[in-house]
Structure formats: C-alpha cells, structure tokens
Amino acid sequence: MGDITRLLAPRSIAVVGASTNPNKSGGIILQNIVDGGFAGRILPINPRAETILGHRCYASIADLPEPCDLAVIVLQREAVAEAVRDCVAAGIGGVLIITSGFADAGEPGRALERSLQEMLRGSPTRGLGPNTIGLVNRAAHLTATFVAMPQWCDGPIAICAQTGIFAGAVMQEHMGQPYQRLGVGSVLDVGNKLDVDELDFLEWALADEATGVVGLYVEGIPDPRRFVEAAGRVARSKPVVLLKPARTAASAAASALHTGSLAVDDRVLAGGLRQHGIVRADDLTDFFDYLHAFATLRPPRGRRVGLVTTSGALGVMAADELEANGLELACFAPETLAALGTVVPPWQPVSNPADVWIALDVVGPRPGIETPLEAALADPGVDMVLATVLVPPNADFPEVREVFAGLRRRHPEKPLALVLYGGCRHRWLTEIEGLDIPVFASSRAALRSLRALADYREWHDQA
Amino acid sequence: MNRLCEPDAKRLLAAAGLRAPRGAVAGSAAEAEAVARSLGCPVVVKAVSADLTHKSAAGGVRFAGGPHEVRAAYSEVLAAVGRSRPEAHLEGVLVEERLTGGIECVLGLLDAPGFGPVVMFGLGGLFVEVLGDVAFRFVPLAPRDVRAMIGELHGRRLLAPHVNALVAAVVAFAGLSDRVREAEVNPLLARDDGLWALDAVATLR
C-alpha cells in the first residue's frame, strides 16, 4: 500500500474515455486538465480519434509508450473492469474511476466493485473512487474533475470528501465569489473508497508542505478508532476539521444507499474526536467557516474576547453568543478603557462590549473604528477580537485597507474576525480581500469559529 | 462466564483505588444481622449473584434502618429474587453500610464495536436514565481527558468540588481494561469525604 503522492502529483495522466465531444464527461475532464495548466504528459485514450485538444490519442492503455502515473477512467460502467485490468497490467500508478453505479447502486454494482478491488489487490496500482468527481491539486497544476472552476482560490486547505460537492457545484459557486473564499490547495473526492480512503489522504496531507489545514467530509468509517487516531496524529501539527453526518439511524440509512457506508456510534466517536483534537463541524456552514478561520487566523492563546461594535444591539447579542460558546468576555485594561474614552463623549461609559457608534461624530469614521480595534488587540487581557461593524455610507472612509492591514500586521497572533452590515459592505469586503481577515455572516458564526480555534489551541498546548 | 458478583467486582475496583462502603457477605439471616450490628449504622441488604446485573429490578435490594430490620430484609431479598430470577445462582447477601448525600455518577468501561475499550463517565441516577448526560473517551485516558469529559456534561457544575478525585479514579479505572472487558460503577457517589462505589458489575476478559 504505497502512498498516494503519485496520484496527487502525477508526472503523466491518461484519460481513458477521452472524448472529442466537449459536452461529454470524457471531453470536459480532458479540457479541465489542459486548462488547469498541467505541465506533464497528457495521454487521451480513444481508439477512434487521432488527437484531442492537440494531444495525440492512444487506442488503449496497452499502447502507451510508458506507464503513466495516473489514469482517469471515464467509461460506461460495463467497460470499467477491462480498463482497470489493462491499467494494472501496464503498471499504472493509480486509476481514478469517475464512473458511478458500483457499491453506490445496490448488489450488482457492489459485486462489480469487489471484482475491481480483486484486480487491484496485490498490485502496486492504487484505486480512487469509483463514483467520484475527481481531484484537484493546485501545486501539481492538476484539475482532474469535470466541473470548471475558472476562479479557483489557492491556499493551505486540503479537503478529502466522500462526495463531489467540494470539487463540484458547491465549490464552483463558492469559488465564484469575489472575496472571502477558502484558500484551497487540493481536493480529493474518494467516492466509494474501493481502495484509497481518507487514511491515505491524511498521511499524504501530513507530509504535504502546501497543506496547512485539513478538511474531511466522511459518511461512513469502517474502522473508527483507527480513523480517529490517524486524524489525531495530523491534528498535532495541522488542524483537522471534520464534517461527518449520518449521526442518526435514518441518515445513516440514507448514507448506506448513497455509498454503502456503515453507521458508527456517534457519541463514542464524538468523545474520541475531542480526545484527539479533531475539530468537528456540525454542518456545511460550520465546515466552510472553520476551514476559513483556521486558514486565516492563528489559534488564540486563551478564551478572552474583546467585542467592538458600532451597534449596541449587535454587541448585546454577541455577548450572549460568546457565553453560549464557552468563551469569556475580556476585562479591558485601564489603558484600553482610556483609549476607548478618547473616541466617545465623556458621558458615555466604556466597557466590553465597546459600543463606539457615536465615535463617528466625535472623532470621525476612521479613528472611530481604528482606535478601538487597536486598543482591544493591544490589550494583554484580550486573546481575540470580534468587531461587528455597521457600514452605511457615513461610516465609510477611503483608507479601509490601510487600517485593517495595519491592525493585522501589528497583531498577527490575535484573531480578528469581522461581521459587516450596511450599504458599503461589498466595498469593505473588496478592500480587505487578501488580508487574512475573515468576515462572517453573523456574530453567531464568528463566535462558533473563534471557539473552535480556542478549543484547538487548548488541546494542542496540552498534548 | 467471567462476570463477577458485586463483592468481587468491588475488590477489583479497590485495586484501582476505588473504595466501597464497609460491609460483608452473609449466608444466613442471623449472620446478616450480626454484620449490621458490627457496622452500627443503617444498611443496604443486597442479593449477591454474578447473574444479576440489575438487582433493584429483580427486587434484590432492601434497606434496613437498624439491625432489627435486617433479618426481614434478608428474607425479602432472597424471596424476591427467587420469584423474579429463579435461575440466578445466589451466593449470599451483601450487608453494606448505607451512604447518603453526595452526587451520583456513573462510570463504565466497555468494548465498543469499531472503537475497542472505551470509558463512559457522567451523572448517574436519574440523569443517566433520562438525560444521558455522559461522555466517552478511548482507553487509555490522560488526566486532561477526564477533565474534558467532566467539562462536557450538562451537570458539570455539580462535580466541580470533585474534579481531582474523579480524575484519579477514572484514569485508574480505565487502567483495568487490560483485565476487564466490561464494567460499570453505578452509582459512583461523589461526597465531601471522597468517592464511593455503591454498586459495581464487572466481566473479566
């Protein structure tokens, strides 16, 4: 069982079932591989074409001049077995079987999948899928999926999923955003996991220098203890965020139909995950938020939060949510209170949450937000800051990027998270893009992520 | 069958530093009364059988405020178990000091499929039956794992004065897993004077 580097960073790729028709999967995948800038040899396998997209076609795997690292198989279900047999015989490094209708589709499909596993067993050829949308690895310029992602945002996140959505439509929509995208370096859809599974991926991600944060979506875990311990080994150096549904019997049954997964006692699993420092997302929103938070913020040294707001109500709600998340409201130091006092009228008391809406009138929009944030971040009794900021036109100012870049540069070790409401929200989001300042949809979402960061730090420091 | 009766299970737990109330096994009503007299306090009278995991349900538990009530309790316990669980092999009756007060906890060890040995800890009594206020961890456990488990419980504030004692006890209990396939202490009573295993079942590997 070799490691899967050869599959994720291949020097050559064959596409078995490459199509001249740009609307068929076999045509789209080839186009995406080419458009992704893959620099190695691209080898379309199609007995009826001479070239596709300028690349010479081969009639079969057996006709390849030398074994390639990765063969993407996009054939009708009934033709897959022969292709896999050919790949094993040719000594191909790995097969990525896009085709569905195997263990995901009842007993005849399961039997077919078992026969594929038999073919791979004992050979050095690894198997990915079947029933997978493919994989992306930006460091290798590899986009072996059939969903086009023109605006991919590269970064330290590596995702392994038992679903196509993170290399498919959900990701396509997410990456289509103009800002606040996850920085994703790689995505692997393990599909039915006939061979390669998240354990292989974890081993790869731990060693991969481009990976700083790991995201996992799993439905079924055949050996939960082994999985938790493997993920825990990674968590000691890189945060691992897990989204695992199928917590209830009903959803486990749905999962069994989807990919033939096994249900796992979720309460025992939950305990083990906490024990091993794995961050658990409760839903897709958490998953995206936590990955974004871990990719942009350093886990804080403690649990004390400074709240800065330009809406009293948002501050009150955030204070409630903070407590519900097991975080602490920081006690501002005298210097911080004094600094806050310079931006509000003398009659307004200052505390945490710091409500500085009135600072707009007293000192103006820029100092009105910059002074309180600088003071809170500089406060030794504050471990992280959440700012809930209203940005109507009268709160706007030209130097937004400069202000936030400065705060981030001066206080890199303390998480700064934002929530923005108002007409200038889009402008502010554009201004701060690329500064590693996550903007959340709500203070509730922000505090969930800050809590996940704080819990991870606590676990990590005790490990 | 490697299941231990309550006194043997408690002896095993004692080796892991978990104390049980004072008591002794009696083979007759007279012996039971004598044990109660020597304890000099209200007692619990319990049927002893490796076949009984739920003694109260089988009618196998009675309280006796004083020694004069013990003979009757002894007979009632044996009669009740004889009716409800006639096949159970009885080894006598345990007469034990009755402890009150404190917080009831539950502490368990089991081989969970797919996970291997797992420890369960939480609030016992009503809380475990109705609310399931428990947490799990894989064996082996570190002290910080026990603290984290307590921190997960809804009723964690009740256990605040007992954290250090619980940490030591749960870690030691987990250490039994190489000899013990399954065990449960319910209730584990947390009082000012320490932790007490009021009842225990255990099955050896």
Output the 3-class SS for chain A.
CCCCHHHHCCCEEEEECCCCCCCCHHHHHHHHHHHCCCCCEEEEECCCCCEECCEECECCHHHCCCCCCEEEECCCHHHHHHHHHHHHHHCCCEEEECCCCCHHHHHHHHHHHHHHHHHHCCCCCEEECCCCCEEEEHHHCEEEECCCCCCCCCCCEEEEECCCCCCCHHHHHHHCCCCCCCCEEEEEECCCCCCCCHHHHHHHHHHCCCCCEEEEECCCCCCHHHHHHHHHHHHCCCCEEEECCCCCHHHHHHHHHHHCCCCCCHHHHHHHHHHCCCEEECCHHHHHHHHHHHHHCCCCCCCEEEEEECCHHHHHHHHHHHHHCCCEECCCCHHHHHHHHCCCCCCCCCCCCEECCCHHHHCCHHHHHHHHHHHHHHCCCCCEEEEEEECCHHHCCCCHHHHHHHHHHHCCCCCEEEEEECCCHHHHHHHCCCCCCCEECCHHHHHHHHHHHHHHHHHHHHC
B1 CA to chain A: closest CA distance, Å?
Answer: 27
Question: Residue B113: its chain A contacts at CB < 8 A?
Answer: 265
Q: Which 77-116 residues of chain A touch chain B by CB within 8 A?
A: none
Question: Residue A230: its chain B contacts at CB < 8 A?
Answer: none
Q: Which two tokens stand for residue A41?
A: 């040899």
Dihedral of alpha carbons A220, A225, A230, A235, sign = positive
- CB half-sphere exposure, A292, CA atoms < 13 A: 28
Helix axes A77-90, A106-120, angle to 10 degrees: 10
Q: Which of A327, A239, A325, A224 is CA-nearest to residue A280?
A: A239
Query: How many of the other CB atoms lie within 10 Å of CB of A336?
Result: 25
Give chain A's length: 463
Q: Which two tokens stand for residue A408?
A: 């981030």
Averaged pLDDT for residues A340-365: 96
What is the widest separation between alpha-carbon atoms in chain A?
84
The predicted pLDDT at position A59 comes to 96
Paired sense of beta strands B61-64 and B3-4, if any: unpaired
Paired sense of beta strands B180-191 and B194-197, if any: antiparallel
User: Quick check: A250 pLDDT over 70?
Assistant: no
B133 CA to chain A: closest CA distance, Å?
Answer: 11
User: Quick check: A261 pLDDT over 60?
Assistant: no
User: Quick check: A263 pLDDT over 50?
Assistant: no
Q: Which two tokens stand for residue A137?
A: 């690895």
CA of B141: which chain A residue's CA is closest? Answer: A275
CA angle A431, A435, A441 (to 5 degrees): 70
CA of A455: which chain B residue's CA is closest? Answer: B148
ipTM for the complex shown:
0.91
Q: How far is CA A428 from CA A180, A359, A361, A437, B100, in A?
A: 11, 19, 20, 11, 63
Question: Residue A266: its chain B contacts at CB < 8 A?
Answer: none
The answer to whether A196 and A7 are in contact (CB under 8 A) is yes
The predicted pLDDT at position A307 comes to 98
Q: How far is CA B81 from CA A351, A385, B48, in A?
A: 66, 63, 10
CB contact under 8 A, A265 and B148: no
Average pLDDT, chain B: 92
pLDDT band at A249 (very low <50, low <70, confident <90, very high): low
In this complex, is the C-beta atom of A264 within 8 Å of any C-beta atom belonging to chain B? yes
Task: Return the number of CB contacts < 8 Å for A and B.
Answer: 44
Q: Which two tokens stand for residue B85?
A: 């669980």
The answer to whether B137 and B145 are in contact (CB under 8 A) is yes
pLDDT band at A294 (very low <50, low <70, confident <90, very high): very high
CA of A460: which chain B residue's CA is closest? Answer: B144
CA of B139: which chain A residue's CA is closest? Answer: A272
CB contact under 8 A, B138 and A271: yes
pLDDT > 70 fraction of chain B, expressed in percent and rounded: 98
Q: Which 409-448 residues of chain A touch chain B by CB within 8 A?
A: none
CB contact under 8 A, B118 and A268: yes
What do you get for the CA distance between the two ends of chain B, in Å?
A: 10
Averaged pLDDT for residues A276-286: 97
CB contact under 8 A, B115 and A269: yes
Give chain B's length: 205
Averaged pLDDT for residues A20-46: 94
Torsion of CA A4, A9, A14, A18, to 10 degrees: 110
What is the widest separation between alpha-carbon atoms in chain B?
52
A46 CA to chain B: closest CA distance, Å?
Answer: 44
Averaged pLDDT for residues A3-32: 94
CB contact under 8 A, A275 and B145: yes
Q: What is the pLDDT of residues A161-216, one digit of tens each?
A: 998 888 888 999 999 999 999 999 999 999 999 999 999 999 999 999 999 999 99
Across A178-192, A433-447, B122-136, least confident range: B122-136
- A90: Cβ–Cβ under 8 A, 6 or more apart, which residues? A61, A62, A64, A67
In this complex, is the C-beta atom of A228 within 8 Å of any C-beta atom belonging to chain B? yes
The predicted pLDDT at position A267 comes to 86
Task: Report whether the peptide linkage leading into residue A353 is cis, meaning its omega lies within 30 degrees of zero.
Answer: yes
The predicted pLDDT at position A146 comes to 83
CB contact under 8 A, B136 and A267: yes
Question: Residue A264: its chain B contacts at CB < 8 A?
Answer: 114
User: Quick check: A237 pLDDT over 90?
Assistant: yes
Radius of gyration of chain B (CA): 17
CB contact under 8 A, B114 and A265: yes
Question: Residue A324: its chain B contacts at CB < 8 A?
Answer: none
b/e map of B103-138 (b: 16 or more CB within 10 Å)? bbbbbbbbebebbebbbbbbbbeebbeeeebbbbbb
The predicted pLDDT at position A253 comes to 54
Dihedral of alpha carbons A322, A328, A329, A332, sign = negative
The predicted pLDDT at position A248 comes to 61
Across the interface, of B114, B135, B136, the residue whose CB is closest to A264 is: B114
The whole-angstrom separation of Cα B4 and Cα B204 is 8
CB contact under 8 A, A228 and B135: no
CB contact under 8 A, B136 and A228: no
Dihedral of alpha carbons B48, B53, B57, B63, sign = positive
- B54: Cβ–Cβ under 8 A, 6 or more apart, which residues? none
User: Quick check: A260 pLDDT over 80?
Assistant: no
Across the interface, of B113, B138, B144, the residue whose CB is closest to A462 is: B144
The answer to whether B47 and B58 are in contact (CB under 8 A) is yes
Question: Residue B116: its chain A contacts at CB < 8 A?
Answer: 225
pLDDT band at B113 (very low <50, low <70, confident <90, very high): confident
Long-range own/partner contacts, residues B141-144 (CB < 8 A, 24 or more apart): B141/A275, B141/B170, B141/B171, B141/B174, B142/B171, B143/B167, B143/B168, B143/B171, B144/A462
pLDDT > 90 fraction of chain A, expressed in percent and rounded: 88
* Residue whose structure tokens are 């990919």: A259
User: Quick check: A255 pLDDT over 80?
Assistant: no
Across A130-139, A142-151, A292-301, B134-143, least confident range: A142-151
Q: What is the pLDDT of residues A117-140, one digit of tens each?
A: 999 999 999 999 999 999 999 999
In this complex, is the C-beta atom of A462 within 8 Å of any C-beta atom belonging to chain B? yes
The whole-angstrom separation of Cα A377 and Cα A385 is 7
pLDDT band at A257 (very low <50, low <70, confident <90, very high): very low
The predicted pLDDT at position A379 comes to 98
The whole-angstrom separation of Cα A117 and Cα B98 is 62
Across the interface, of B112, B145, B148, the residue whose CB is closest to A268 is: B112
CB contact under 8 A, A225 and B116: yes
User: Quick check: B127 pLDDT over 70?
Assistant: no
Compute φ and ψ for B23, nearest 5 degrees: 175, 175
- A56: Cβ–Cβ under 8 A, 6 or more apart, which residues? A43, A44, A50
User: Quick check: A454 pLDDT over 90?
Assistant: yes
- A201: Cβ–Cβ under 8 A, 6 or more apart, which residues? A4, A158, A160, A188, A190, A216
The whole-angstrom separation of Cα A400 and Cα A387 is 14
Averaged pLDDT for residues B128-143: 88
CB contact under 8 A, B148 and A225: no
The predicted pLDDT at position A265 comes to 83
Average pLDDT, chain A: 94
Q: Which of A21, A93, A37 is CA-nearest to residue A64?
A: A93
b/e map of A422-450 (b: 16 or more CB within 10 Å)? bebbeebbebbeebbbbbbebbbbbbbbb
Question: Residue A225: its chain B contacts at CB < 8 A?
Answer: 114-116, 138
